[in-house]
Chain A
Amino acid sequence: MELKLLLIIAVYSIFIQNFVLTRFLGLCPFIGVSKKMSSAVGMGFAVIFVMTLASIVTWLVYNYFLDPTTSILKYFSPEGTAPDLTFLRTIAFILVIASLVQFIEMFIQKTSPSLYRALGIYLPLITTNCAVLGVALLNIEGNPSIGIEGKFTFIQSGVQGFSAGAGFLIILILISGLREKLELKEIPESLKGVPIAFITAGLMAIAFLGFSGLTL
């Protein structure tokens, strides 16, 4: 049962509610880095990595510090009650993500210089990628269309983070392949570059609408 639910979460965040094409998250890198296939792949893998880790870490921060029902802060207060800090989630999450990205950057730089050369320039950009903060927020809001009303569990959050990143990578690869081809095609002067990329994305989004008929 639990495994089936995880699979449903994965399929939902990769195809049915794709982060780029139906939730409009992460559009800046989607337009900015999708000109060449190689940079798109680098960015995509960096995003998968950061999103998975960010989902896990923000889940821990939310559940053990911010949410009063499960917070560990109640063990430190004399009355045994924890303060409700959920209103701080935006600040807490963005700080966690920013420092996590910085930490990953330093860690990769020290341990694997070749990986750093491949992903390095994309990592600072990821802090302001709304898909990362978006997945952290969606993890605590739940998803009624899958039947999860409250917040996700720890494993569900990790799965959602990973599969949302995978969905992002797939879209980035598809669009960069199309844009490489479009460079050589004759298109009206005024639509060249970003406008045609958006229209292509629109057509892809129509194709992805087909997945919404999927019943799981």
Chain B
Amino acid sequence: MSIETTPLWEVFIRSRNGLNHKHVGSLHAADSNLAVQSARDVYTRREEGNSIWVVRSDQIIASDPDRSGENFEPAADKIYRHPSFYDIPDDVGHM
């Protein structure tokens, strides 16, 4: 069965200036103008934001979950990247 589909878009909202746009969900729209307008109607009905990004879902390149190990685990033991790794006397004050 073939069904005509309308493209899927991911929606990102910035809740206020100073914050990142954050992924909030998705919707269907034939083109980018309608996608932005629908995002406004669907995802900002309660003053959730002041800026909208929409990105076609099929345009997003995601990292491969099968490679999560090689991508992300090597960072786990690099404790010297964190301030708590370094011992400094308390009376030096905040650093």
The answer to whether A and B come from one shared complex is no
A residues neighboring B (CB under 8 Å): none
Measured CB to CB, the residues of B under 8 A from A are: none
